[in-house]
Amino acid sequence: MSPQERIQELSKELREYNYQYYVLNNSLISDYEFDLKLKELQKLEEEYPAFADENSPTKRVGGTVADGFNKVKHRYPMLSLSNSYSKEEISEWYDRVEKGLGKKPKLVCELKYDGVAISLNYKNGKLIQALTRGDGESGEDVTTNVKTIRSIPLQLQGDYPDDFEIRGEIFFPLEHFAELNREREKNGEALFANPRNTASGTIKMQDSAVVASRKLDCYLYFLLGENITVKSHFERISLAGSWGFKVPTEDKKLIYRTDNLDQLMEFISYWDTERKNLGFEIDGIVLKVDDLDEQDELGFTAKSPRWAVAYKFPAEAVATILEDVHFQVGRTGAITPVANLKPVALAGTVVKRASLHNADQIEKLDLRIGDTVWVEKGGEIIPKVIGVNKELRPTTAKPFQYIQNCPECETELVRKEGEALHYCPNENGCPTQIKGRMEHFISRKALNIDGMGPETIELLFDNNLVQNIADLYVLRKEEVLALERMAEKSSQNLIDGIEASKQVPFQRVLFGLGIRYVGETVAKILAKKFKNIDALSKATFEELVEVNEIGDRIAESVCAYFNEEQNIQLVERLKEYGLQLEMDDAELAQGTKLDGLSFVVSGVFNLFSRTELKKAIENNGGKVASSVSSKTSYLIRGENMGPSKLKKAEDLGIKMISEQEFAEMIA
Ligand code: IVH
């Protein structure tokens, strides 16, 4: 079998496994076997790029980094639906439709998926373009990211039209959303608030490999195109299913066709309670007139079709008793009030705690212990207290007093003018802050110390082995081994992890110091600008605010940090132990030569492998994009490069260079 034939055979097999698994829920092959086949295909495509298809199953794993998304006009505008919030309003809509048509309409009931709308364009059975809704007139081209969603077919099957559009909703399955947040919690990262916003953010991420890892899913609900003869919406959806799309099916009651108003109301009531068992979020039910000619007859208002309507479920809120309020202390000393509630079932979970945000919020609600409060779960993970039922207030309930001292170390709290939060100022004595800072220091995006987590910090701190981050670097294995729960191997891992962290680059160490308002991006900017910790520690407020993207708040915080003698000593110790507190020469040289330039790499190369080439671009501050656009600065042209890329680059007048020319650029 020729390589080309093998590529085609493997692509076909993998496509079928994908479809069976992600659309039909059938597992025909083990993950291991699937990966083996995928790797074989990847290897062949690398060896014979001329035979590699833009829509190969290997594109599912992502790996290309987009430099922004092009705005593209929608072929048909993407309208929204008018919303109804009661069954009466639905009845009224039904009456209007009946009156408009002069007969009882057949209606299709569907779920209103709570995600992000997407419009997919297929030509000759291949996914060509995926656009977000944008302003309804034009959207952003997120094709590369959408290709990583396994339930969206890249190559259709069956008898599909040559050219059509299909629309649907990309959503975050709850199981994968929870998994992502668990992982983030473990790494000390901020949790995502809700699946919908996270899906929407994910689809616009630059790195498609991250999109692939998020395991988004997509249901399709609207088929458009000139050459489709079927004139029933319901039948069009099932037709799309036969081409390989994930569409709602009757067997799971995800879609239902009826001309009976009572049955329609039943569908709404059924899903209002059943939605908690779905595995993804819906925020209502959509009703559509089935017959496309009838749809035409009814037409559109300025913003939405008259032939469809959305019934929105009411936001879920329950009443329960506020038993107590406790206060959490963060690593920066920020105090967060949390309501302790009498446990109550809400939207599929038992809620015991809810956020109260800050002192102002508590005052606004006029909250008292013993009050009956309304708790809402508006898509956020942490429910919030949204109101008080004052009629049920016990006569004994006393107005709530905000704490004045830190619940952990008793220090008097401070609240700066204009700030919503109270802070514990005892940075170097408050155990919760000290441990919090150490947890941040070892977290993945900072020093990423292997073999260490919050429990280890707790253990080391409670046993007086570490009081601050510098103490980690004088820890001895025997000391660790002597602790409860620490075995030979885990102790060695921990010591090795600490040792390895000495190679972590300056900007991550700076981020790890946990200076208030110095997040990952700010740390990177400061490291690049000041090049080493000494220069940064001596920088004045004026010098700091001169740096692009550094405002008063950050500058003030950096100055305050380096004004503390204890912090200066800490940094000195870190320096002494060999941590990276300056940008190394290679890093300094990097990031400038190709700053602001965007490259597309295509074809086969001799001097570099494709991976090396991409690395070299990024190491020199350039960006790698997967497709040629007006934003492309250079196309690095290898042998056998794809004809479509070549044509596009020529059409757009993009500069093409050879790998030799590129090597000279970075020399
Ligand atoms: S049909 C012309 N069907 O709701 C009508 N939309 O405000 C096209 N949505 O932006 C939309 N589930 O993102 C339709 N089963 C469904 C839907 C649905 C969710 C979203 C869609 C749209 C918004 C309408």
Does residue 112 have an active-site annotation?
A: yes
531 neighbors 552 (Cβ within 8 angstroms) = no
Tell me the average pLDDT across 575-595. 80
CA-to-CA distance for 27 and 128, rounded, in angstroms? 28
Starting at the earlier edge strand, list the strands of the sheet with 126-132.
Answer: 126-132, 116-123, 163-171, 217-224
CA-to-CA distance for 205 and 662, rounded, in angstroms? 27
CA-to-CA distance for 443 and 437, rounded, in angstroms? 10
Output the CA 359–ligand 1 centroid distance in Å. Answer: 39
Residue 644: what pLDDT?
A: 78
CA-to-CA distance for 118 and 108, rounded, in angstroms? 21
Output the CA 220–ligand 1 centroid distance in Å. Answer: 10
Ligand 1 atom having least distance to the Cα of 112: 12
H/E element, 286: strand 282-289
Ligand 1 atom having least distance to the Cα of 169: 13
Residue 444: what pLDDT?
A: 85
Give 436-482 pLDDT, tens digit per residue. Answer: 999 999 998 899 998 898 999 999 999 999 999 999 999 999 999 99
CA-to-CA distance for 571 and 512, rounded, in angstroms? 12
203 neighbors 170 (Cβ within 8 angstroms) = yes
Give 168-195 pLDDT, tens digit per residue. Answer: 999 999 999 989 988 887 777 777 767 8
pTM for the whole thing? 0.56
The protein residue with its alpha carbon nearest to ligand 1, atom 10, reads 80
Tell me the average pLDDT across 377-388. 76
Give Cβ neighbours of residue 667 (< 8 Å, ≥ 6 apart): none
Backbone angles phi, psi at 288, to 5 degrees: -135, 145
Whether 280 lines ligand 1, by a CB cut-off of 6 Å, is no
Whether 311 lines ligand 1, by a CB cut-off of 6 Å, is no
Apex CA 399: angle with CA 393 and CA 400, to 5°?
Answer: 110
CA-to-CA distance for 531 and 546, rounded, in angstroms? 16
Strands 598-602 and 384-389: unpaired
DSSP code string of 196-230 = HHHHHHHTT-SBHHHHHHT--EEEEEEEE-TT---
Whether 116 lines ligand 1, by a CB cut-off of 6 Å, is no
CA-to-CA distance for 339 and 372, rounded, in angstroms? 12
Catalytic residue (choose from 112, 524, 623, 645): 112
Residue 62: what pLDDT?
A: 78
Of residues 365, 414, 354, the one with CA closest to residue 389? 365
Q: Is the pLDDT of residue 434 over 70?
A: yes
Q: Is the pLDDT of residue 100 over 60?
A: yes
CA-to-CA distance for 266 and 274, rounded, in angstroms? 12
Whether 303 lines ligand 1, by a CB cut-off of 6 Å, is no
Of residues 549, 499, 555, the one with CA closest to residue 524? 549
CA-to-CA distance for 477 and 473, rounded, in angstroms? 11
Tell me the average pLDDT across 537-560. 91
Q: Best substitution site from 80, 245, 253 to test ligand 1's pocket, by max atoms within 8 Å of Cβ?
A: 80
Whether 79 lines ligand 1, by a CB cut-off of 6 Å, is yes
CA-to-CA distance for 183 and 200, rounded, in angstroms? 19
The protein residue with its alpha carbon nearest to ligand 1, atom 12, reads 112
Q: Is the pLDDT of residue 380 over 60?
A: no
Give 552-579 pLDDT, tens digit per residue. Answer: 989 999 999 999 999 999 999 999 999 9
| Residue with the larger pLDDT of the pair 176 and 355 | 176
pLDDT-derived band at 167, boundaries 50, 70, 90: very high
Name the CA dihedral angle for 204, 208, 210, 215, rounded to a multiple of 10 degrees: 80
Q: Is the pLDDT of residue 67 over 90?
A: no
Q: Is the pLDDT of residue 393 over 90?
A: no
What percent of the chain is predicted at pLDDT more than 70? Answer: 98
The burial class, CB within 10 Å (0-12 / 13-18 / 19+), for 91 is middle
Ligand 1 atom having least distance to the Cα of 308: 5
CA-to-CA distance for 235 and 115, rounded, in angstroms? 24
| Residue with the larger pLDDT of the pair 244 and 360 | 244
pLDDT-derived band at 419, boundaries 50, 70, 90: confident
Output the CA 273–ligand 1 centroid distance in Å. Answer: 21
Whether 298 lines ligand 1, by a CB cut-off of 6 Å, is no
Q: Is the pLDDT of residue 333 over 60?
A: yes
Ligand 1 atom having least distance to the Cα of 305: 2
Of residues 445, 438, 357, the one with CA closest to residue 402? 357
Whether 113 lines ligand 1, by a CB cut-off of 6 Å, is yes
Give 216-248 pLDDT, tens digit per residue. Answer: 999 999 999 888 999 999 999 999 999 999 999
CA-to-CA distance for 253 and 272, rounded, in angstroms? 13
Residue 381: what pLDDT?
A: 60
Whether 134 lines ligand 1, by a CB cut-off of 6 Å, is no
Residue 651: what pLDDT?
A: 87
Give 9-23 pLDDT, tens digit per residue. Answer: 999 999 999 999 999
CA-to-CA distance for 133 and 140, rounded, in angstroms? 7
Q: Best substitution site from 81, 116, 256, 268 to test ligand 1's pocket, by max atoms within 8 Å of Cβ?
A: 81
CA-to-CA distance for 597 and 657, rounded, in angstroms? 13
The protein residue with its alpha carbon nearest to ligand 1, atom 6, reads 112
Residue 326's beta-bridge partner residues? 338
Whether 135 lines ligand 1, by a CB cut-off of 6 Å, is no
Residue 348: what pLDDT?
A: 62
Ligand 1 atom having least distance to the Cα of 79: 2
635 neighbors 599 (Cβ within 8 angstroms) = yes
Q: At 159, which amino acid appears?
A: D
CA-to-CA distance for 249 and 240, rounded, in angstroms? 11
Residue 626: what pLDDT?
A: 80
Output the CA 112–ligand 1 centroid distance in Å. Answer: 7
Give 476-487 pLDDT, tens digit per residue. Answer: 999 999 998 889
3-state helix, strand, coil in the chain (%, to 5): 40, 20, 40
Residue 30: what pLDDT?
A: 85
The protein residue with its alpha carbon nearest to ligand 1, atom 9, reads 112
Tell me which residue has tokens 């959509």: 286
The protein residue with its alpha carbon nearest to ligand 1, atom 2, reads 79
Output the CA 594–ligand 1 centroid distance in Å. Answer: 43
Ligand 1 atom having least distance to the Cα of 114: 19
Output the CA 111–ligand 1 centroid distance in Å. Answer: 9
Q: Is the pLDDT of residue 602 over 90?
A: no
Whether 221 lines ligand 1, by a CB cut-off of 6 Å, is yes
Residue 202: what pLDDT?
A: 94
Which residues of 50-97 form beta strands (DSSP E)?
Answer: 71-73, 83-84
Q: Is the pLDDT of residue 659 over 90?
A: no
